[in-house]
Structure 1
Amino acid sequence: MNNTAIAYYRYSSHRQGEQSIEGQAAEAQKWAKANGYTLVKEYADRAMTGTNDDREQFQLMLKELERLHPDVLILWKVDRMGRNKEEIAFNKYRCKKNGVKIVYVAENIPDTPEGIILESVLEGMAEYYSLQLSQNIRRGQQASAAKCQSTGGNRPLGYRTGADKRFEIDPQGAAIVRQVFDRYVHGESQAEIVQALNAQGLRTLKGKPFTHNSLRTMLKNEKYIGVYSYKDTVRIEGGIPAIIDPQTFAKAQEMMKKNKRAPSHRWSKANYLLTEKLFCGRCGGMMVGISGTGRHGDKHYYYACTNSRGERKVKVGCQKKNIRKQWIEELVISHTKALLHNRELLEFIAENTYQFYLSENTDTAYTDALNANLKDIDKALGNLLRAVEAGIFNDTTKTRMNELEDQRKQIQAALARSKLQEGLQLTKTHILYYLEQFRDLNTDDTECRKRLIDTFINSIFVYDDKITITFNYSGDNRTVTLQEIDGGGFDCSVACSTI
């Protein structure tokens, strides 16, 4: 039976062309064929931002991991998994939990110590680039907002964008908006209105059925009384044509306040930082997070060997004692911080990672594909110009020329972005600087502690009389053995339950 793979592609309309997805797909298919994988499904988000992971096809891909059970997920680069460390880490965890290996065709990162360090550096660069790009976009959007123009994602149902990029009323959508406000101020509940709208076959601006959230967003939107707003910086009354009168809108706001439900309280479970890195020295089984309640009702947190609990205890019968969560995590954090103050060792890690980066990141397939598509578009435009010169000019010709010009601009923007990234190529100094930043992390913060462990810790084995920590770098001294274990971290004095 063939190994199976899925692939995900994305492009953003403000900086890339549709062709960039074709280039990504071609390389993914090429990689799958070369490595003996059957590509069973492909996902693509078109004209979607990469600054967060709230993308329809991306979320569908994550949801279908459990159903499809692919061996590999093929991506173009790290930034397709999200544009900040938290999103990337969470999405990678979902893949790992389902046994899916991630492959980046434009950033060859194998499962080696240098590969793990490099991936962490590239995630940091993706986050930096996303912030830089967002700043540039915000400047342009700020200028548009000052003119009460659409900035792309701020158009609600009931409006359309005119030739001058300003909002104008869409009669069909506006009728739905008026129906919603009229029903609500006359006493119908949001649930009743949602049901009525969907029963009529009406849909949101994105073509989806109405929900409680989409209805609530509509009822709170000041644009419907003519107020143009952009983030917290621009607010212009009368900036757009009103659909709802101020009195009706005010009444709806008052009714929402009265109908607002108290927020539910959520129980927050402990964050076990060493999950999937901590192993039992007796049997080799993974140690997982558990909790227990003491005699006085106070909560305690531990790591326990999976072979010492439940059905596994009967089959394997491991006698490993539970180990206190705080104790083992503090021990690992302290030794990792000590590593970061070893200048010679950091130089060694940075050099190995840089040499690996040089050997694996010389692929120009993406820009080659963009340039080839740009050449085809220039050729098509040339043919159309000759047709115009010959007197053939109609609505179809004009529409096609506009489409090609738009595609040309998009590809040129994508090439410019690639050139910018080439200007940000990694050097050993970049990598060393990135690694040194971990020295200043606030290790009282859970997310910072998790980043430190995910980047530098490969595995930890807990024995009865010692602990071995293996770090993410090559060399004979990458494993540290701690012999002086006083037993203070081991405990099984309370009844525990797996979290």
Structure 2
Amino acid sequence: MKKCVIYARYSHGPNQTEQSIEGQLMDCSNYAKEHDLTIVKTYTDKAKTGTNDNREAFQQMLRDSAKGLFDVVLVWKIDRFGRNREEMALNKVKLRKNNVQLITVKENIPDGPEGVLIESLMEGLAEYYSLNLAQNIRRGLNTNALKAKVNGGHVAFGFRISKDHHFEVVEELRPIIVEIFTLYDSGWSFKDICDHLNAKGIRTSRGNRFNKSTLRPMLSNVKYIGTYKYKDVVIENAFPAIVDKALFDRVQVRLKASLQHRQAYRKKVVYMLSGKIFCNKCGAPYIADAGTSKSGKVYNYYVCEDKKKRKNCKNRTYSKDVLDNIVIKTTLKYVLTADRIEKIADNLIRVNEKRNESPYLSKLICDKAESEKKINNILSAIEEGIFTPSTKERLLALEEEVKNLEAAITEENIKKPPLTKEAVLWFLNRLKKLNYSDEQCKDQLAKTLIHSVLIDDDRVIINYNYTNNDGITAFAECSSDSKMVETRGLEPLTF
């Protein structure tokens, strides 16, 4: 019997309560019973946003996944796991590396190639609808911003919120902030400054000890020169400055130099096909490899694991850039075309019809229909001349009820983005327009569409995450110079 854990989360909002988590836990527990899974632990984050992964219980769950304590993570829906696509992808990779499976119990993602594509779609649409929902909230926040008012979030060290919701300087902390900027400007390191502050018993605005991650954003915060900033709204001299502008500017120059050094040192190479490439001769996976020439230039490769470790296989080693480009160009030219995108969308909608609908959404729709029926009955009675003092009151109450139900239905649809053909077309066309000189965009394409890649010397066989009408997985076979040789699931092409 496999061991599982449950992760549940609710965010801030008028309809988000602890009952939201209780409902998630109940559904996940029922799923575990039905699928013979033993629940060993539950992780919950209350009143936490899903737009980033800075959640205590979530991070603890990721750390525990590396200890081999469980095999499966159950979440209610994919948007409970997160709404930021890039962070979700990275966190799912962490789980996979730890041999832990992620299951969304209410979205019933189907098995097979289309399941991977639908899951990727749901991640993208969760982010898309989250951004749409945020637009209405932003209108109010921008109004506050134009008045230099606090828009929520963490209040920086040295400030507090006044009664009229403006930032107010805590005068007793002013000398400490000036000292921090002065020490950094004079050459002190982050570590030395943190040790100095902690030794004096000074704590951050959250009551924690100072560390590098709290000090760096503090040194770049324009509030300390009296500037209010929210999104595109910037108001100078919005409140009294704590730090002299000349000192602040010198600190920014040093911070920028330090960041550029770190980025150059920590530059990460993303192997978009990692875990997806296999040798068609010996069956071993291809692994990431790198080498440095005499001139110091670094070259990145995909090499057969058997060839690398045991010297048995003679299959070709590919430059990372060459193989990545073969896969990207083939996919863009022969898969992400207007007619094929249309066919993929139709196929996904057919597959998706098997997924369970939200029982709560169904109830809301039924309740709305029932209330509208009652309104029509009252209107019919009025037309017949039946009218009492309570009739108008009852009619207004029903109209308000319909209005509230419509809002609840809209909110539920935002939580679970409807997988319509229009939404699928938006998502696939978005993939087509990504900037593939960016490593993260390459990685997104591979995670969404590429099922696997087989290498046989100069032959490159790309299997995709969708099937054609006879149920055979679509694939494209290319030569190493990226010319199509054979296709299946794609229309035959001749060169």
Query: TM-score, with normalisation over the residues of structure 1?
Result: 0.74
TM-aligned CA distance change 1:450 to 1:487, over 3 Å: closer
Question: Is the counterpart of residue 157 in structure 1 residue 157 in structure 2?
Answer: yes
**Corresponding residue of 1:377:** none
Structure-2 change in CA distance of 1:114 and 1:192 (3 Å): closer
Higher relative contact order (CA 8 A, sep 6+): 1
The answer to whether structure 1 residue 358 and structure 2 residue 353 are counterparts is: yes
The sequence identity of aligned pairs, in percent, is: 35
Counting matched residue pairs gives 434
* Paired position in structure 1 for 2:146: 146
Pair 1:217–1:446, CA change in 2 (3 A): closer
Alignment of 1:185-334 (within 5 A): 185=182, 189=188, 191=191, 193-199=193-199, 201-218=201-218, 221=221, 223=223, 227-235=227-235, 237=237, 239-240=238-239, 242=240, 249-250=244-245, 253=248, 256=251, 262=258, 263-264=260-261, 265-266=264-265, 268-294=267-293, 298-310=297-309, 313=310, 317-334=312-329
**How far 1:104 sits from its partner (Å)?**
1.0
Asked whether the 8 Å contact 1:287–1:305 carries over to 2, the reply is yes
- Mapped contact 2:270–2:443 kept (Cα < 8 A): no
Long gaps (5+) in structure 2: 365-403, 484-495
1:181 equivalent to 2:178? Answer yes
Amino acid at match of 1:116: V
Report the equivalent of 1:428: 421
Distance between the aligned counterparts of 1:422 and 1:259, measured in 2?
A: 44
Distance across 2 between alignment mates of 1:144 and 1:324: 52
- Find the counterpart in structure 1 of residue 129 from structure 2: 129
Measured against aligned partners, the alpha-carbon deviations of 1:115-139 in whole angstroms (never above 9, x if no partner) come to 1121122122122123223332222
1:11 paired residue number:
10
* Uncovered stretches (5+) of structure 1, i.e. residues with no partner: 370-410, 489-499
**What is the CA distance between 1:152 and its match in structure 2?**
0.5
CA contact (8 A) 2:228 2:236 kept: yes
1:98 to 2:98 alignment: yes
SS of the residue aligned with 1:303?
strand
Deviation at 1:360, TM superposition (A): 0.9
Q: How far is 1:332 from its partner?
A: 2.5
Question: For residue 379 of structure 1, what is the aligned residue in structure 2?
Answer: none
SS in 2 for 1:472: strand
Question: Structure 2: how far apart are the matches of 1:441 and 1:183?
Answer: 42
Across the aligned residues of Structure 1 and Structure 2, the Cα RMSD in angstroms comes to: 3.8
Question: What's the secondary structure of 2:66's corresponding residue?
Answer: helix
Q: 1:228 to 1:86 in 2, by over 3 A?
A: closer
The equivalent of 1:80 in structure 2 is: 80
1:37-93 residue CA offsets vs partner (Å, 9 max, x unmatched): 222232233222222223333233223321244211222322334434322222221
C-alpha separation in 2, matches of 1:458 and 1:424: 24
Change (3 A) 1:414 1:254: same
**Counterparts of 2:355 and 2:348, CA distance in 1:** 11
Task: Quote how far apart the aligned CAs of 1:362 are.
Answer: 0.5
Equivalent residue letter for 1:325: K
Alpha-carbon offset, residue 236 of structure 1: 5.2
Where 1:360 maps in the other structure, the secondary structure is coil
Counterpart residue identity of residue 289, structure 2 = I
Q: Please say if residues 227 and 235 of structure 2, whose CA atoms lie closer than 8 Å, have aligned partners that are also in contact.
A: yes
In structure 1, how many angstroms separate the alpha carbons of the residues matched to 2:134 and 2:165?
A: 21
Describe the shift of the 1:266–1:3 C-alpha distance in structure 2 as closer, same or farther (beyond 3 A).
Answer: same
Distance 2:169 2:180 in 1: 21
Change (3 A) 1:251 1:41: farther
Q: CA separation in 1, counterparts of 2:156 and 2:405?
A: 30
Which position in structure 2 is the counterpart of 1:71? 71
Contact 2:10 2:80 in 1 (8 A): no
1:56 is matched with 56
**What are the residue-to-residue correspondences of 1:372-383 with 2, within 5 Å?**
none
Query: Is the 8 Å Cα contact of residues 361 and 412 (structure 2) preserved in structure 1?
Result: no
Kindly indicate whether the alpha-carbon contact (under 8 Å) linking 2:68 and 2:98 is maintained by their aligned counterparts in 1.
Answer: no
Distance in 1 between the 2:436 and 2:449 partners? 14
Correspondences of 1:468-479 after superposition (within 5 Å): 468-475=461-468, 476=470, 477-479=472-474
Q: 1:267 to 1:230 in 2, by over 3 A?
A: closer
AA aligned opposite 1:94: K
Judged with a 3 Å threshold, the aligned counterparts in structure 2 of structure 1 residues 52 and 323 are, in CA distance, closer, same or farther, namely: same
Could you tell me how far apart the structure 2 residues matched to 1:185 and 1:444 are? Answer: 41
Distance in 1 (alpha carbons) for counterparts of 2:424 and 2:345: 6
How far apart are the structure 1 equivalents of 2:449 and 2:334? Answer: 9
Deviations 1:301-321 (A, max 9, x none): 3211112223xx17xx33434
Q: Offset of 1:278 from its aligned partner?
A: 0.7
> In the aligned structure 2, how far is the partner of 1:194 from the partner of 1:456?
46
Give the drift of 1:103.
Answer: 0.8
CA distance 1:209–1:28, shift in 2 (3 Å)? farther
Q: 1: CA distance between counterparts of 2:288 and 2:416?
A: 44
Per-residue CA distance 1:189-236 (angstroms, 9 max, x = gap): 564553354345543222321124434544554545655443441415
- Alignment CA distance shift 1:198-1:126 (3 Å): same
Match in the other structure for 2:394: none
Provide the secondary structure at the position in 1 that maps to 2:137.
helix
Task: Give the Cα separation in 1 of the matches to 2:228 and 2:318.
Answer: 57
TM-score for both structures, normalised by structure 2 = 0.74
Corresponding residue number in structure 2 for 1:389: none
**1:169/1:71 CA distance change after superposition, 3 Å:** same
Deviation at 1:251, TM superposition (A): 7.4
Contact residue 466 and residue 474 of structure 2 kept, 8 A: no
Distance change in 2, residues 1:40/1:350 (3 Å): same
